[in-house]
Amino acid sequence: MITINNLSKVYRTKKGEIKGVDNVSLTINEGEIYGIVGYSGAGKSSLVRCINLLERPTTGNITVDGVDLTTLKSEELRQARLRIGMIFQHFNLVSQKTVFENIAFSLKAARVPASKINDRVEQLLEMVGLSDKRDVYPGQLSGGQKQRVGIARALANNPKVLLCDEATSALDPTTTKSILKLLKKINRELNITIVLITHEMDVVKEICHRMAIMQGGRVVEEGKVYDIFASPKEELTREFIESVISFELPETILKKVSGTLVKVVFKGEVAGESVVSDTIQKFAINGNFLHGSIDYIQEQPLGIFVMELTGGKAEIKKALDYIGKRTALVEVIRHGV
């Protein structure tokens, strides 16, 4: 659906050239929700704006639904952009226009016949749950309602791709969940490919199938969301994950731990198995759970536990080897004293 090849975006400023995007290549499959994560300045917003050529790449190319956008002339590009909807962090609604008029504006810009606009807007309002706000102005809406208008407007011309640039960053947690639920519904029912730019790992964990982590304009890690949460490769990725799933133990607890401190990751069905209790019965060791949880990512369980193992070094090594064969990861945080 979307192929990004060797894409770079260089901004020329008075202080010199700044690389917003640095030689990025990605493939985003049709019908998936793809997250692009990074801190401010990582290049993620520059990248997403290149996808619909709001920013023209300095080098590289963007192919959407089989069409290389970088080769299109102005009218061809305008037509291609109709198939790419976009929603923004701050909604970008016209305050002097009603909800109906804000959505209808996209249809008029696409030269949709006036006779078809009313029915299409009514259909979109029902889809985003705002049929009762048809004649209300943006100033009378909550943040979540404004974003729903933005989503309806982005869907007006039946796009195949929906770009979301920090779409939930200005919203409270409860409203964020409702917007993410709506995006999942849109993805499922309309098979729209969604590219979601965010710095919030909770958002990615909630709805994305695959993801990329960006830093300094480059992609530093990429893959299935579940796999990245289970076994992150880069320190930056671990930092993002720990913002969602923290396993830092209080110093008062650590002072009491004299055994071997380990982190165990259970993937899929293994998360529900009695691996640890089997291990304790099989080997001459004791186990003490200190911290842990089971999360669900794309409806698959992912268990992460921190525990203390005590016993002879040889038995602990056998136990760790046994656990390692039955789980996704065993990491020794600190050896016993």
Sheet holding 16-28, edge to edge: 16-28, 2-13, 59-64, 67-68
Short-list 171, 107, 103, 163, CA closest to 138:
103
pLDDT of residue 155: 95
CB neighbour class for 298 (10 Å; exposed up to 12, middle 13-18, buried from 19): middle
Sheet holding 193-198, edge to edge: 84-88, 161-165, 193-198, 33-37, 210-215, 218-224
pLDDT of residue 273: 58
Going from N- to C-terminal start, the domains of the chain cover 2-242, 251-334
Neighbours of 205 (CB within 10 A): 22
Question: What does each of the 337 residues of the chain score in pLDDT, given as a tens digit?
Answer: 899 999 999 998 888 888 999 999 999 999 999 999 999 889 999 999 999 999 999 999 999 999 999 999 888 988 888 899 999 888 889 999 999 999 999 999 888 998 899 999 999 999 999 999 999 999 999 999 999 999 999 999 999 999 999 889 888 999 999 999 999 999 999 999 999 999 999 999 999 999 999 999 999 999 999 999 888 899 999 899 888 877 677 777 777 888 898 888 887 766 555 787 888 888 888 888 888 888 888 788 888 888 889 988 898 888 888 888 888 788 888 887 6
CATH architecture of the domain with range 2-242: 3-Layer(aba) Sandwich (3.40)
CB neighbour class for 64 (10 Å; exposed up to 12, middle 13-18, buried from 19): buried
The dihedral formed by the CA atoms of 13, 17, 18 and 19, expressed in degrees to the nearest 10: 140
- Where b means 16+ CB within 10 Å and e means fewer, 182-191 reads bbeebbeeee
pLDDT of residue 4: 96
Q: Strand, helix or coil at 58?
A: coil
pLDDT of residue 288: 85
Q: How far is CA 278 from the centre of its chain?
A: 36
Domain 251-334, CATH homologous superfamily name and number:
ACT domain (3.30.70.260)
pLDDT of residue 102: 94
